[in-house]
Amino acid sequence: MNKIEHIGIAVKDIEKSNELFAKLFGESHYKTEAVESEGVKTSFFKMGESKIELLEATTPDSPIAKFIEKKGEGIHHIAFDVTNIEEEIDRLKNEGFIVLNDTPKRGADNKLVAFLHPKSTNGILVELCQEIVINK
């Protein structure tokens, strides 16, 4: 793993949260994006080499909606940048981690993503992220 890519924070109202975090960080978010397959709207703030990702549910049965219902707003996951997500998935499986995605899927911010189950990571949902490279 190369670095912390971002920290994901589940929020009820992304517009209000954008205002709150813009005041906290002293600058506005740089991007919003919907990930329809996950039923979520995201917003990103730059924090040096890392980012903060706000996540708002767009459907009542989305993972974020269920998380907020159970635990309330707050830190949802920590994401790590990896060079080769398929190799990292295999490595972590061999180390005994529970991988929720055998095959990476397309996530927000031009990333391939996969998740590790919190049961195998001391209660923390871990996301692996690999930049999607588009050859021109």
3-state secondary structure of 93: helix
> Which DSSP symbol is given to 99?
B
Question: Over the stretch 124-135, which tens digit does the pLDDT of each residue have?
Answer: 999 999 999 876
How would residue 136 be classed by pLDDT, with cut points 50, 70 and 90? Answer: low
Question: Over the stretch 2-34, which tens digit does the pLDDT of each residue have?
Answer: 999 999 999 999 999 999 999 999 999 999 999
Question: Over the stretch 91-126, which tens digit does the pLDDT of each residue have?
Answer: 999 999 999 999 999 999 999 999 999 999 999 999
Taking CA atoms, 125 is separated from 31, 67, 73, 76, 105, in Å, by 23, 11, 15, 7, 16
135 CB burial (10 A radius; 0-12, 13-18, 19+):
exposed
